Structure 1
Amino acid sequence: MSTNASGGGDLDSAVTITQAAAEEALSLMEGEGMDVDIGGLRLFVQQGGCAGLSYGMRFDTEPEEDDRVTQQHGLRVFVDPASMNYIGGSTLDYESGLQAAGFTVENPNVEAECGCGESFRT
């Protein structure tokens, strides 16, 4: 289920959250003592990196008035309107392996990425 923080329509295609990403984020939030029914993971785009834009994530206690709020697998994800222009249709995942573990964003809007994968251009 997805909603706009101001009560707007269906936004299921805005950002998809995998079960692995939701479980990891919820675990981290609970470890921080956050209320997972109100708070959520903020996913945003910022200027930076060698390709021009980079992803950012942080926990917020509640959405901003104009955020798009997507809830899947029990995790609420907040995306501001400017960031949604760059990451709409993306999938947030969590991967763990022998080399590294962390959240990843699969973004169909990306035209180019830097060599290390930390920044992108649309």
Structure 2
Amino acid sequence: MSTESATGSDEAAVTVTPEAADEAISLLEGESMDTDVAGLRLFVQQGGCAGLSYGMRFDGEPEDDDTVVEQHGLRVFVDPASMNYIGGATLDYEGGLQGAGFNVENPNASSSCGCGESFRT
């Protein structure tokens, strides 16, 4: 398992904004999950109108081959196949009247669909 932290390297595999970390930690705690062990799994799957889409779920612990990024108190787990597509991405959270939610800003995406839910590399 590869582990990176906000202070451990100049460029993290995935960057987490403070807003995203705060929201995810709040949701983890709402599920009574131990934030010292559990985390947010960020992954890429086939689907969406552009070919690939992002997925997120909470996991109790990382898999052996996951990259684990720890920033702002949040642990993010990324499997090796997904890291090929989202390495260098930023996970953000936006709230507001238009709808709240997590957003992945991915420098590897060459195009995305109109709704922003799927992408192509």
Q: Which residue of 1 aligns with 2:77?
A: 78
CA distance in 2 between counterparts of 1:105 and 1:54 reads: 10
Secondary structure at the counterpart of residue 56 of structure 2: strand
Which residue does the alignment assign to 1:118?
117
Question: CA distance change for structure 1 residues 83 and 43 in 2, over 3 Å: closer, same or farther?
Answer: same
SS at 2:98 equivalent: coil
CA separation in 1, counterparts of 2:18 and 2:12? 16
Match of 1:69 in 2: 68
RMSD: 1.5
2:88 is matched with which residue?
89
**Aligned residue pair count:** 117
Contact 1:12 / 1:70 at 8 angstroms: preserved in 2?
A: no
CA contact (8 A) 2:111 2:119 kept: yes
Q: Tell me which residue corresponds to 1:58.
A: 57
Shift of 1:29: 0.3
Identity rate of aligned residues, in percent?
74
Q: In structure 2, the residue corresponding to 1:24 is in which secondary structure? A: helix
Give the CA deviation at 1:13: 2.1
Task: Report what 1:49 is aligned to.
Answer: 48
Q: CA deviation at 1:97?
A: 0.9
What TM-score results when the alignment is normalised by the length of structure 2?
0.92
**In 1, Cα distance between equivalents of 2:73 and 2:42:** 16
Whole-angstrom CA distance in 2 between matches of 1:94 and 1:116: 16
Amino acid at match of 1:121: R
TM-score (norm 1): 0.92
Counterpart-to-counterpart distance in 2, 1:24 and 1:11 = 24
Q: 1:7-40 deviations in whole A, cap 9, x for unaligned?
A: xx95842000000000000000000000000000
